[in-house]
């Protein structure tokens, strides 16, 4: 049955200056008012008034029953939460797979060398190594689960798999790797843990890309398409332990302990070290300084039974997983020293400037004459429109002793790069580059005839997609 109070009483309730409370309190306020008004109007209740009073009594009974049931159902829950604290809500545990990103990259190019070199070989290039050929620079797969201490997750891991011409340059060089075929396609593979020290001490164990030098592996993150002489000369990767500590927003300290430069497996008993710092004196300036100490001479020779790497006619040679080796006696113990520094300045959102300088000295034996290589590179990039950018690089490298090129010479290169963003995750780069030397060094179309320069024109196409944001 539908029941409603008169309009005057409803208006009275709405305009009360205090909360009503429970339904029973509401009835206790309204009934006297309503009934008193009825009595004043007439001494004897009418039939309708008797029905209304009966309805109110039934409504009171139903409300009392509802309140009783509510009190009974809430009492056990309240007592249980007090008696058994385990029923209280628990803090959610971090999901180990949460935040895992799967990322793909493809980098291909066509390059023409105006020297028309025999074998289509572009000397001293790191990635764009072939001329007059549609080339696969690299295809990459990157899986990463980064730590996030703010969410209670202090561990993570990363795996980079790589295929293509860049793999041959970067990975598993027999000059550095005792058994290169094992690790050739693993560019990076490491685990991370962030210790609760200060603002966080990040420690990685495994194989990682070297941060010696301003340039990196993935073309999408570089200013130019081709890589500099310095990138091609400095270490590409390391295997070991590294630690990074953010002292504050303007200073980060780094320390590495590794097998060596480009050594997934150690080929001597020396462990290389790096001490580095990164300064951010302003929001748009980042300056990195590194010192690296190493010993890059093997104390054993491995034989893979190829035509140019057969073991000597001897019996009972020791083996490592089936690969024969012999010790080198006396083993060279000369040291490698690298001083590396680079700075990036972004004076405006559209303009980026950078400068790198490196000094490298190495000895075969501790008392040997040193070989020196030093150089510098300057970079600039300007975003003309949201889709179009122009960039340039100028570089000088002095290779005294032939540590880089195998010949004592002074090398220069100038590069002009134009970039067009076709879509998100898809860019095209057109590049003109000129390499030159003070000695005849670069190949021509005639065997034995060398030139002091090589000029190249390149069209590069780079695709990438995945959940990982920022630089790879």
Taking only the tens place, the pLDDT of each residue in 365-399 is 999 999 999 999 999 999 999 999 999 999 999 99
Domain ranges of the chain: 7-79, 101-297+332-466
Task: Return the SS3 of 78.
Answer: helix
Dihedral angle at the C-alpha atoms of 316, 322, 324, 330, nearest 10 degrees?
Answer: -100
Question: Chain-centre distance of CA 198, in angstroms?
Answer: 22
Residue 135: pLDDT above 60? yes
Residue 364: pLDDT above 60? yes
Pairing of strands 323-327, 300-303: antiparallel
Q: Determine the pLDDT at residue 309.
A: 62
Q: Determine the pLDDT at residue 303.
A: 80
Q: Determine the pLDDT at residue 109.
A: 98
Residue 360: pLDDT above 70? yes
Confidence of residue 27 (pLDDT cuts 50, 70, 90): very low
Name the DSSP class of 81.
H
Query: What one-character-per-residue DSSP string does 11-60 give?
Result: HHHHT-SS---SHHHHHHHHHHHHHHHHHHH-SS--HHHHHHHHHHHHHH
| Spatial distance between the Cα atoms of 54 and 396, rounded to a whole number of angstroms | 104
Q: Determine the pLDDT at residue 325.
A: 83
The two three-digit tokens of residue 403, written as one number: 């540590």
Superfamily of domain 101-297+332-466: Porin (2.40.160.10)
Q: Determine the pLDDT at residue 73.
A: 59
pTM strictly above 0.95: no
Question: Chain-centre distance of CA 290, in angstroms?
Answer: 20
Mean local confidence (pLDDT), 222-227: 97
| Spatial distance between the Cα atoms of 147 and 153, rounded to a whole number of angstroms | 6
Percent of the chain past pLDDT 90, that is, above it, reads 64
Residue 13: pLDDT above 90? no
Pairing of strands 426-437, 371-383: unpaired
The two three-digit tokens of residue 339, written as one number: 């001083």
| Spatial distance between the Cα atoms of 307 and 300, rounded to a whole number of angstroms | 19
Q: Determine the pLDDT at residue 68.
A: 74
Dihedral angle at the C-alpha atoms of 116, 118, 119, 123, nearest 10 degrees?
Answer: -80
Q: Residues 135, 109: contact at Cβ < 8 Å? A: yes
Give the tens place of pLDDT for each residue, 257-293.
999 998 998 989 999 999 999 999 999 999 999 999 9
Confidence of residue 24 (pLDDT cuts 50, 70, 90): very low
Give the tens place of pLDDT for each residue, 87-103.
444 555 555 567 899 99
The two three-digit tokens of residue 183, written as one number: 């690790």
Using alpha carbons, select from 433, 323, 430 the residue that is nearest to residue 377: 433
Residue 169: pLDDT above 80? yes
Confidence of residue 305 (pLDDT cuts 50, 70, 90): low
Which burial class, exposed, middle or buried, applies to 471 when counting CB atoms under 10 A from its CB (0-12, 13-18, 19+)? exposed
Confidence of residue 33 (pLDDT cuts 50, 70, 90): very low
Q: Determine the pLDDT at residue 39.
A: 41
Mean local confidence (pLDDT), 342-347: 98
Give the tens place of pLDDT for each residue, 137-149.
999 999 999 999 9
Q: Determine the pLDDT at residue 197.
A: 93
- Between 113 and 316, the higher pLDDT residue: 113
Place of tokens 């122009």: 390
| Spatial distance between the Cα atoms of 463 and 426, rounded to a whole number of angstroms | 5
Q: Residues 467, 101: contact at Cβ < 8 Å? A: yes
Using alpha carbons, select from 133, 77, 142, 76 the residue that is nearest to residue 108: 133
């Amino acid at each position: 049955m539908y029941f409603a109070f008169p309009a005057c009483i409803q208006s009275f309730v709405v305009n009360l200056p205090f909360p009503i409370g429970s339904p029973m309190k509401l009835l206790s306020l309204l009934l006297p008012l309503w009934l008193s008004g009825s009595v004043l109007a007439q001494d004897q209740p009418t039939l309708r008034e008797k029905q209304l009073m009966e309805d109110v009594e039934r409504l009171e009974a139903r409300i009392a029953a509802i309140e009783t049931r509510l009190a009974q159902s809430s009492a056990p829950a309240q007592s249980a939460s007090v008696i058994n604290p385990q029923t209280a809500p628990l803090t959610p545990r971090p999901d180990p797979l949460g935040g895992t990103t799967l990322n793909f990259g493809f980098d291909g190019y066509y390059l023409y060398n105006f020297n028309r070199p025999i074998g289509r070989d572009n000397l001293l290039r790191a990635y764009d190594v072939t001329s007059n050929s549609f080339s696969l620079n690299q295809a990459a797969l990157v899986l990463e689960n980064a730590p996030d201490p703010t969410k209670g997750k202090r561990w993570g891991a990363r795996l980079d798999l790589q295929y293509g011409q860049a793999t041959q340059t970067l990975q598993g060089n027999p000059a550095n790797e005792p058994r290169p075929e094992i690790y050739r396609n693993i560019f990076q593979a490491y685990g991370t843990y962030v210790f609760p020290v200060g603002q966080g001490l990040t420690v990685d164990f495994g194989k990682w890309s070297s941060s010696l030098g301003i340039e990196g592996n993935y073309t999408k993150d570089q200013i130019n398409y081709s890589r500099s002489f310095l990138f091609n000369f400095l270490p590409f990767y390391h295997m070991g332990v590294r630690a990074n500590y953010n002292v504050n927003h303007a200073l980060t300290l780094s320390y590495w302990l590794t097998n060596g430069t480009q050594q997934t497996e150690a080929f001597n008993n020396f462990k290389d070290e790096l001490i580095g710092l990164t300064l951010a004196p302003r929001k748009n300036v980042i300056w990195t300084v590194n010192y690296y100490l190493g010993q890059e001479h093997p104390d054993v020779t491995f034989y893979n039974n190829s035509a140019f790497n057969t073991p000597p006619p001897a019996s009972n040679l020791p083996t490592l997983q089936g690969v024969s080796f012999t010790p080198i006696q006396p083993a060279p113990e000369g040291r490698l020293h690298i001083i590396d520094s680079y700075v990036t300045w972004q004076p405006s959102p559209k303009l980026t400037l950078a400068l790198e300088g490196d000094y490298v000295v190495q000895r075969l034996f501790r008392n040997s004459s040193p070989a020196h290589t030093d150089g510098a590179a300057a970079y600039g990039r300007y975003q003309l429109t949201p889709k179009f950018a122009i960039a340039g690089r100028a570089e000088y490298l002095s290779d005294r002793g032939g540590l880089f090129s195998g010949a004592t010479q002074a090398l220069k290169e100038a590069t002009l790069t134009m970039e067009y963003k076709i879509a998100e995750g898809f860019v095209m780069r057109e590049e003109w580059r000129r390499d030159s030397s003070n000695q005849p060094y670069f190949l021509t179309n005639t065997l034995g005839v060398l030139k002091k320069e090589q000029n190249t024109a390149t069209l590069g196409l780079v695709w990438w997609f995945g959940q990982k944001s920022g630089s790879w």
